[in-house]
Amino acid sequence: MHNKIKLLTAVAITLASADIFAAQQTLVGTFQTIKAVTLSETTPLALVGLNLPSGSACDLTASADGTGTNYLGDQAMRIGNTATANALGTAVTTMAGTGCLVSTGAGAAFGLYEIDGAAGATVNITIVNGSNADLTLVPSGCAAFYNAGPNLDTCVAVSQAAGSVPIRLAGPTDTGTLGEGTPIAGKSLIALGGLATAARTLTAGTPYTVDFTINVAY
């Protein structure tokens, strides 16, 4: 009996060392990339009428909610909204503010920027104010947000103060059926006005520019 136990133990050790119960298999992971997101300028932001002394301010207010007279309109923003929405909007060129020389600024225009990415994807928009030795600029306005169905799209507020704002790009199921704008799959629009302030005494009859940033990322 003593010898039999020793034999069984030896067999068990041999089986373990042969590794006959191990398995190995090569597996495949599949990944689908999406279209890179891009941003292009359709209409540059233009502010006019700023007075010359340092501290003078001029504001072209853009809607932060897709309503009112300071809104480009659902058709221009390609938003399918509701029957009572501001479909046509208003051609806004009214400037206001301390040190703004004119009530109607000829040539003033909202900045309009198109986002192009994957249809139905969510992107995050961040606005960064601009400044240089001549001017400071605080851009603000709204971006088209699509709801994955007919109508009921919105224009949501974007600005540096708003932080990172998520918006959904239009997808194949987004439509406007009430005479408003027509969504385009994979796209959204941002409309911006802005508050410009003279950082120093400016020179009459001189064009000034200031850079600002729009960041868009998945």
195, two tokens: 């508050």
Residues 6+ apart with CB under 8 A from 191: 62, 63, 71, 72, 76, 77, 110, 111, 112, 141, 142, 143, 155
pLDDT given at position 89: 80
In angstroms, rounded to a whole number, what is the distance separating the alpha carbons of residues 48 and 67?
24
In this structure, is residue 12 part of a structural domain? no
In angstroms, rounded to a whole number, what is the distance separating the alpha carbons of residues 112 and 29?
41
Contact call for residues 99 and 55 (beta carbons, < 8 A) = yes
* Band of residue 1 on the pLDDT scale cut at 50, 70, 90: very low
Q: Whose structure tokens read 């003033």? A: 108
What tens digit of pLDDT does each residue of 88-120 get? Answer: 886 666 788 888 876 555 778 899 999 999 999
Residue 24 has pLDDT above 90, yes or no: no
- This prediction has a pTM of 0.85
Q: How many domains does the chain divide into?
A: 1
In this structure, is residue 185 part of a structural domain? yes
In this structure, is residue 59 part of a structural domain? yes
194 lies in which domain range? Answer: 37-217
191 residue type, one letter: A
121, two tokens: 């994807």
Question: What would the mean pLDDT of 153-174 be, rounded to a whole number?
Answer: 97
In this structure, is residue 7 part of a structural domain? no
In this structure, is residue 149 part of a structural domain? yes
Q: How far is CA 120 from the centre of its chain?
A: 13
In angstroms, rounded to a whole number, what is the distance separating the alpha carbons of residues 87 and 6?
92
In angstroms, rounded to a whole number, what is the distance separating the alpha carbons of residues 102 and 97?
10
Contact call for residues 69 and 60 (beta carbons, < 8 A) = no
In this structure, is residue 20 part of a structural domain? no
In this structure, is residue 202 part of a structural domain? yes
What tens digit of pLDDT does each residue of 188-198 get? Answer: 999 999 999 99
In angstroms, rounded to a whole number, what is the distance separating the alpha carbons of residues 12 and 19?
12
In this structure, is residue 2 part of a structural domain? no
What rounded mean pLDDT belongs to the chain? Answer: 86
